[in-house]
Structure 1
Amino acid sequence: MPLLFAYRRWWCFAFIGLLLLPTLGLVMPDLKAPIRTVQTVPPAWWIQATERLDPYINNNYGFRGLFMGAHAAYSKFMKSTRERPVLIGQKGQIFYTGEKALDQSLGRIFRTDQVERLVRVTDRMRDVLKARGITFAMVVPPNGQSVMPDLLPAWAQTEQKRPTEYDSVAATLPARGTAFADLRPELTAAREEGPVYRRTDTHWNNRGAVLGFNAAMRAAGRPELQVPESEALGPLTPTATGDLARYLGETSETGDLDYPPKGPMVQPANLKPLPGLMPATRGNDPFEGYAYETGHAGPRILVIGDSFSQSFWPGLLARNASAFGWTHHRNCRFEWSVIDRFKPDIVIYAPVERAITCLGSPAGLDMK
């Protein structure tokens, strides 16, 4: 047969060798790779094998780390994000696009019904809390692309439309009597003196968090509770890459920049926990609430927020509050009874921009 001609036999051996490489990879050293979520072959895998066996093969093929690293490097070089919820902008800035955040910031979507639900919830919160003598204010940490539109790819910059959902909320709530801080102008202006968002992370950096906290205190009519940047932050320092970089296989201990927290931004170790005041979380829910007494005079402050305040604000709150607490907003479905238990003097409602729309039936409308 022509296939077995001598000069073709070596190609046959080479082809078989390539097919055996993944098998050799099962016993040879490999590069570090994400954890294998399927460790064993499922029972009766031969029944509907494509559904039962494929997850095991995808987690355990030879040279898995090498192939995944090579693919991540290629995707990064080509600036390909495929189905990942990220967008690579100018100067290497990575933007989160999940939960329609990009379309929201560009004004390409406007969910009227959900924005109206938010207005009703905040109206009700303001009125109920005011009747109890509790100060209420709202701040909205912007999506990164709302503060850094100049770093979006050129095609995205041409898609900007007005008004956005943030525009509508920022105009509507103050007109209805709700204390509201539009953080976009301040954070945008602050970029002239240094970054306010991480390059590789969904979140603002420590400096952005301090600016957002201070804006919240001013909106609540308590400017004396602000914390100066100079007291809370060290100099800009290399830091590890964040959550968005992991989508692209980019990991580095010095691949990003941030201002290390110091002084009042570091949570004190001598705080007294107040158990049972915040709603319990289930399973591996990362948004576990907390409440503490500080041991000194000051207002009791409750923040209803998300990851933009959960781990960024405890030290800032502890500096001047007699007690402070944090619970997740749950897209307007937060547990209202937390206010009854904690008895705050000030309530700050602080959902990130992509979460300002209320999904479903907000619990906030059932306040008493």
Structure 2
Amino acid sequence: MALLMAFRRWWAFVFVALLALPALGLLLPDLPGPIRTVLAPEARWWVHASERLDPYINNSFGFRGPVLAAHRRYLRFIGSAPGTRVLDGTDGSLFLRDDNALEQSIGQLVRPQAVERLAILARELKAKMAAIGGTFVLTLAPNAHTARFEMLPDYIRQQRQARSEYDLVAARMKRDGITFVDLRPFLAEAATQGPIYYRYDTHWNARAALAAFNAVMAAAGRPQLAIPESEAFGATRIRTSGDLLTVAGITSREPPDVEYVWKPPLAGPHETTPLTGIVTAPPPEKDDYGFHAFATGHAGPRIMVVGDSFTQGFWYNPLVYRASAAVWIHHAACEFDQGIIDRFKPDILIYAPTERFLTCKNWSRTPLPAGG
């Protein structure tokens, strides 16, 4: 009698093939997965071999990406609490793990389709501004992971890829003839003179925000609108709060953050006049950021900013100081009301999402001709 009947032999082949899949995965190119915390066995791994090799093996099994992705889906399905959302930097500062910001900043998450959607929007906004004789500028507020890359853990820095989404955006905007401000070199220069991002918060600080504002004004052809740092800030103060402390469940951490304080006349009090009929509805966003629409009563260009929390409060004082009228509205993942442009008629339109929100999500438009 045969060891296995004929119809069962195929099941034996299937069973053996399934057992061989993990080994096969070790030979195939890596599939997307969480950041590897161990890249190679420690030196002299044969000393306490299990203790030294186990972390490496746990990071290097076949089909690691799909297995861990399936595990995350399973945890969500059963309602398990999510894993850590905050990463410790080498200097004790904190970095957000949400929105794949870390993977995006080191080039492990690159979405050409997201860059293409942003390019479609940029060409559309450029065309609208050209029709009214205005200027369009696109910029991205870098993730803290991008701006403070040197403070990421060593094992993460070793996994940095040659090109990130930020690089793709810069190249694409140059190709399409869009005025794009790559803020990375400006912030790197500002960092030589002091902190540019909070240690325990996702945001940049007022120094970085001012450096970004000045760079954008220069790109818009208005370098005279730049505000010297010496004119902007007075004494510093200690900042003990931070959204990443809250997310991590930490009460406080040393050393505390430093807050750069605006000084008069930039600090106000500002006498502005609300503009009505410009913003007819709040942004289509789950959390309503509101908007600013005001006249300042002094000379200057009309400036409209489409951004998020990196510009809403941080650019308020510079806008009041330099613009004759200004509008700030949330980008709402590219779905902001473009009718505001027609009603406000800005001289300068700035689209400025944070790097991790450059994608337009499910937004889509019929592409305009390149350079149109």
Q: State TM-score, norm by structure 1.
A: 0.73
Secondary structure of the 1:159 match is: coil
Secondary structure of the 1:234 match is: strand
Secondary structure of the 2:130 match is: helix
Q: 1:136 to 1:220 in 2, by over 3 A?
A: same
Corresponding residue number in structure 2 for 1:259: 260
Is contact 2:187-2:208 (8 Å) kept?
A: yes
Secondary structure of the 1:193 match is: coil
Deviation at 1:183, TM superposition (A): 0.5
Partners of 1:87 and 1:218 in 2: CA distance? 35
Deviation at 1:82, TM superposition (A): 6.6
Deviation at 1:175, TM superposition (A): 2.8
Is contact 1:332-1:363 (8 Å) kept?
A: no
Corresponding residue number in structure 1 for 2:362: 360
1:324 equivalenced with 2:357 (yes/no): no
Deviation at 1:277, TM superposition (A): 1.5
Is contact 1:129-1:135 (8 Å) kept?
A: yes
Question: C-alpha offsets along residues 277-313 of structure 1, whole Å, 9 cap, x if unaligned?
Answer: 1253389834111101001111110000100000111
Secondary structure of the 2:180 match is: strand
Q: 1:244 to 1:164 in 2, by over 3 A?
A: same
Query: 1:122 corresponds to which letter in structure 2?
Result: A
Deviation at 1:233, TM superposition (A): 1.3
Q: 1:279 to 1:143 in 2, by over 3 A?
A: farther
Corresponding residue number in structure 2 for 1:26: none
Corresponding residue number in structure 2 for 1:226: 226
Secondary structure of the 1:90 match is: coil
Deviation at 1:169, TM superposition (A): 0.7
Is contact 1:304-1:350 (8 Å) kept?
A: yes
Partners of 2:188 and 2:221 in 1: CA distance? 23
Corresponding residue number in structure 1 for 2:338: 336
Query: 2:166 corresponds to which letter in structure 1?
Result: Y
Corresponding residue number in structure 1 for 2:160: 160
Aligned partner of 2:297 among 289, 295, 298: 295
1:271 equivalenced with 2:272 (yes/no): yes
Partners of 1:306 and 1:359 in 2: CA distance? 15
Is contact 1:301-1:323 (8 Å) kept?
A: yes
Give the ranges of 4+ consecutive aligned residues of structure 1 lying more than 3 Å apart after TM superposition: 251-254, 362-366
1:184 equivalenced with 2:184 (yes/no): yes
Q: 1:303 to 1:283 in 2, by over 3 A?
A: closer
Q: 1:284 to 1:167 in 2, by over 3 A?
A: closer
Deviation at 1:364, TM superposition (A): 9.3
Q: 1:252 to 1:276 in 2, by over 3 A?
A: farther
Secondary structure of the 2:136 match is: strand
Is contact 2:306-2:331 (8 Å) kept?
A: yes
215-224 vs 272-281, which moves further: 272-281
Is contact 1:280-1:288 (8 Å) kept?
A: no
246-255 vs 110-119, which moves further: 246-255
Corresponding residue number in structure 2 for 1:101: 101
Deviation at 1:269, TM superposition (A): 3.0
Query: 1:256 corresponds to which letter in structure 2?
Result: D
253-262 vs 141-150, which moves further: 253-262
Is contact 1:280-1:289 (8 Å) kept?
A: no
Partners of 2:203 and 2:363 in 1: CA distance? 27
Deviation at 1:238, TM superposition (A): 1.4
**Structure 1, unaligned stretches of length 5 or more?**
1-54, 56-80
Is contact 2:85-2:248 (8 Å) kept?
A: no
| Structure with greater helix share of residues | 1
Partners of 2:317 and 2:366 in 1: CA distance? 28
Deviation at 1:244, TM superposition (A): 0.6
1:130 equivalenced with 2:130 (yes/no): yes
- The two structures, once aligned, show a CA RMSD in angstroms of 2.4
Secondary structure of the 1:141 match is: coil
Q: 1:348 to 1:264 in 2, by over 3 A?
A: farther
Is contact 2:139-2:350 (8 Å) kept?
A: yes
Question: C-alpha offsets along residues 119-165 of structure 1, whole Å, 9 cap, x if unaligned?
Answer: 11101211221122011111111000101111001111111002100
Is contact 1:305-1:327 (8 Å) kept?
A: yes
Partners of 1:313 and 1:149 in 2: CA distance? 24
Q: State TM-score, norm by structure 2.
A: 0.73
